[in-house]
Amino acid sequence: EPEVTQTPSHQVTQMGQEVILRCVPISNHLYFYWYRQILGQKVEFLVSFYNNEISEKSEIFDDQFSVERPDGSNFTLKIRSTKLEDSAMYFCASRDRGTSGANVLTFGAGSRLTVL
């Protein structure tokens, strides 16, 4: 079964450092998402991406965050200058075109970011 893959599985970084989290969505999917889950809390939407541009972003997704699909297969989330509160599990998801709204998001296993 096709899956979304994420790397790294765990990254530890110092506050103020830049971090790039990578995702390889399912190959025929066209819509891409990043979510995060702070330990013990709910899964929160960060950003959606379609047709090489951001289609929606949340209040969490401020100027420190950016996304990119550099080569048609990878989908990356960059945090420019990490803060302690960015420590969380970051999930990438993708879905295909299909009937609008009815499609299932397929999630990766997540990248755990620890900011010290």
Contact status, residue 68 vs residue 78, Cβ threshold 8 Å: yes
CB nearer to another protein: pick between 6 and 82 = 6
For another protein, the closer of residues 93 and 115 by Cβ is 93
7, HSE (Cβ side, Cα atoms, 13 Å): 2
Residues that bind another protein (CB under 8 A): 4, 6, 31, 33, 35, 41-45, 48, 50, 55-56, 91, 93, 95, 100-110
Pairwise CA distance, residues 66 & 42, whole Å: 22
Closest approach of another protein to the CB of residue 32, in Å: 10
